Amino acid sequence: MNKSAQYRKKDRKYIWHPFTQMKGWMDEDFPVIVRGSGCYLYDADGRKYLDGVSSLWCNVHGHCVKAIDDAVMAQLRKIAHSTMLGLSNAPAIGLAEKLIEIAPAGLKKVFFSDSGSESVEAALKIAYQYCRQSGGAKSRRKQYFISLKDAYHGDTLGAVSAGSIPLFHKVYGKLLFKTISAPSPHCYRCPCGKSRGKCSMECLEKFRSIIVKNKDRVAGVIMEPLVQGAAGIITHPSGFLKGVADACRENGVLLILDEVATGFGRTGRMFACGHEGVSPDILCVAKGITGGYLPLSATLTTEKIYKAFLGEYEDCRAFYHGHTFTGNPLACAAATASLKLFGKNKILRDLDGKIAYLKGALQEFYKIGIVGDVRQCGMMAGIELVRDRRTKEPFPMKDRLGHKVILEARKRGVILRPLGNVIVLMPPLSISMKELRVLVDVAFESIMKCQYCQKT
Ligand SMILES: Cc1ncc(COP(=O)(O)O)c(C=O)c1O
């Protein structure tokens, strides 16, 4: 038995994997990763794989990057963890200052947590409590959130309440708080029955009217700006975010942007909202914040929101919320080192060429009969496979077509992770042009191979 097989045996015996049907897992020869370098992952038997999804959308500069390794090691020699409850720590302070420097205008305070879901939980609770502690009786009636259809904001219950992907969320229905759903600007399957580029953004008008109608009972709008990642890399038409932000401002509704997936360069700018000159009232970030090294997230707010929580001790206006590892020094040291690399390596500037290449290369996928739509925003791309291009009929779930494609890619040395019938490409931002070509070529070949499988 080789090393991978030995590990797999114990994995199957002890581990319950996330988002995984464990029955099928028992028959799969999944790679067991033991190390990484640059954009590559290596399994226990030395096989090398290109990390085509940035280790679930978080890796930025590659694996085992000396500057980040050194920063974490240096911090480790000082202290691995101490609490933010009653104390503070130097790396968290340094990072908070840097985050505010690069954050959209108006965001002034940083609340740390450990995962994207937790940054969303904090955001929802802050918005809700803010409405209770500012603006009088009228504001206290604001208790709902508006979120997009097919939204994904994480897996904790508040985040699930704001989400609406039936496959992930439906079963928990009775546990969740009520939210108001707004149409997603999903141009391939337009909720208003229009076709891409031939509309007046009727979806935005609908969203706006939902905000106007509910402004007195809504604590906030929460949305992923520009791209709904987990929904299948649904890219929003330009101007949609700005339109929602304007409607929020005009109607006194807080705007919470979830940049857990889109933040830290993934869309070609540091934050996706920068493309449309939008500054939210609350911003959620995670994943790429540490360069994808360690668990850390942050919820950033305006001074105005923060001030609503100030008062005498006995007023009980504080934000009674926090986690044991909040502001963990190792994670904060990694994040600070990652942010320095953005400047030093001119990451964002160098992305332009890669994004342009990806844009051209993705068009080639339309040559494959089962490709219904390709969507891209910066370094986030999704290729949707359909049974019938004309009717857009999806492949049935039991076909596991996306999964078959990624197994083909794996044989060719590339790690991908599908979202149902959508093949996602989301490499580390540091990927070279040569590696990017390999990623695209392998994705193409792997879909072709499966198209062939479907016909036979
Ligand atoms: C937009 C968005 N929000 C929140 C989350 C949840 O983040 P985490 O998995 O770190 O809890 C994700 C994860 O993919 C995400 O894409």
Q: 101-114: per-residue pLDDT in tens? A: 999 999 999 999 99
Q: How far apart are the C-alpha atoms of 446 and 311, rounded to whole Å?
A: 59
pLDDT score of 452: 66
Amino acid in position 10: K
Model confidence pLDDT, tens digit, residues 294-339: 999 999 999 999 999 999 999 999 999 999 999 999 999 999 999 9
The mean-pLDDT minimum among 72-76, 132-136, 301-305, 360-364 falls in 132-136
Give yes or no: residues 151 and 267 share one domain: yes
Task: Domain of residue 171: give its range.
Answer: 69-344
Specify whether 275 is located in the same domain as 182. yes
Q: Find the mean pLDDT for residues 410-414.
A: 98
Number of domains in the chain: 2
Are 84 and 326 spatial neighbours (Cβ–Cβ below 8 Å)?
Answer: yes
Percentage above 90 pLDDT, the chain:
95
**Tokens standing for 266?**
């993934």
Q: Give the pLDDT score at 215.
A: 97
374 Cβ neighbours under 8 A, 6+ residues apart: 362, 363, 365, 366, 381, 382, 383, 384
- Domain closes at, from 344, 366, 391: 344
Pocket of ligand 1 (CB under 6 A): 115-117, 120, 152-154, 224, 229-230, 258, 260-261, 286
- Specify whether the CB–CB gap between 161 and 179 falls below 8 A: yes
Q: What is the mean pLDDT of residues 56-78?
A: 98
The answer to whether residue 5 sits within a structural domain is no
pLDDT recorded at residue 421: 97
Nearest CA, atom 13, ligand 1 = 154
Q: What is the model's pLDDT at position 363? A: 98
Nearest-5° angle of CA 36, CA 42, CA 43?
A: 135
- On whether residue 305 sits in a domain, the answer given is yes
What pLDDT, on a 0 to 100 scale, did the predictor assign at position 1? Answer: 85
Instruction: Tell me the per-residue pLDDT of 260-293, one tens digit each, with 9 for 90 and over.
Output: 999 999 999 999 999 999 999 999 999 999 999 9
Mutate to test the pocket of ligand 1, among 56, 260, 262, 264 (most ligand atoms within 8 A of CB): 260
Same domain, 327 and 365: no
Q: Are residues 128 and 198 in the same domain?
A: yes
Among the atoms of ligand 1, which is closest to the Cα of residue 120? 4
Average pLDDT, the chain: 96
What confidence tier does 453 reach under pLDDT thresholds 50, 70, 90?
low
CA–CA dist 229, 259 (Å, integer): 10
On whether both 35 and 85 belong to a single domain, the answer is: no
Distance 292 CA to ligand 1 centre (A): 13
Mutate to test the pocket of ligand 1, among 53, 55, 57, 117 (most ligand atoms within 8 A of CB): 117
Q: Say if residue 316 is in the same domain as residue 419.
A: no
What is the per-residue pLDDT for 456?
Answer: 44
DSSP result, 360-410: HHHHGGGGSTTEEEEEEETTEEEEEEEEETTTTEEPPGGG-HHHHHHHHHH
Question: Which element (helix H / strand E) includes 343?
Answer: helix 329-344
CA of 53 relative to ligand 1 center, distance in Å: 14
pTM above 0.75, yes or no: yes
Residue 280 lies in a domain: yes
| Mean pLDDT calculated for residue range 5-24 | 97
- Ligand 1 midpoint to CA 285 (Å): 9
Residue 11 within any structural domain of the chain = no
Per residue in 326-379, pLDDT (tens digit) is 999 999 999 999 999 998 888 999 999 999 999 999 999 999 999 999 999 999
What CATH number does residue 102 fall under?
3.40.640.10
User: In the predicted model, is pLDDT for residue 132 greater than 90?
Assistant: yes
Token representation of residue 361? 């290369």
For residue 135, what pLDDT is reported?
A: 86
Query: Does 395 lie in the same domain as 287?
Result: no
Higher pLDDT, 231 or 195: 231
Q: Is residue 264 part of a domain?
A: yes
At 315 the pLDDT is 95
Task: Output the domain CATH number for residue 371.
Answer: 3.90.1150.10
Ligand 1 center to 154 CA (angstroms): 5
Higher-scoring residue by pLDDT: 448, 452: 448
Same domain, 253 and 305: yes
Is residue 264 within 8 Å of residue 288, measured between CB atoms?
yes
Of the candidates 295, 328, 344, which is a domain's last residue?
A: 344
Same domain for 280 and 350, yes or no, is no
223 three-state secondary structure: strand
- Other CB atoms within a 10 A radius of the CB of residue 277 amount to 11
Same domain, 317 and 433: no
Q: Quick one: which atom of ligand 1 is closest to the CA of 229?
A: 16
Q: Does residue 245 form part of some domain?
A: yes
- Is 4 part of a structural domain of the chain? no
Distances 214 to 145, 160, 363 between C-alpha atoms, Å: 10, 21, 41
Q: How far is the centre of ligand 1, averaged over its atoms, from the C-alpha of 256 (Å)?
A: 14
Could you tell me the distance, in angstroms and rounded to a whole number, from the CA of residue 261 to the centre of ligand 1? 6
Label residue 451 by pLDDT band (50, 70, 90).
Answer: confident
What is the per-residue pLDDT across 216-259, written as a single tens digit (0 to 9) for each?
999 999 999 999 999 999 999 999 999 999 999 999 999 999 99
Is 242 found in the same domain as 136? yes
Domain boundary among 326, 344, 362: 344
Indicate which atom in ligand 1 lies nearest the CA of residue 57.
Answer: 14
Residues 321, 297 share a domain:
yes
Whether residue 62 has pLDDT greater than 80: yes
Chain centroid offset of residue 219 CA: 23
Distance, CA 181 to ligand 1 centroid (Å)?
19
Asked if residue 320 is part of any domain, the answer here is yes
Pick the atom of ligand 1 nearest to 156's CA. 11
Tell me the CA–centroid distance for residue 191 and ligand 1, in Å: 24
163-176: pLDDT as tens digits: 999 999 899 999 99
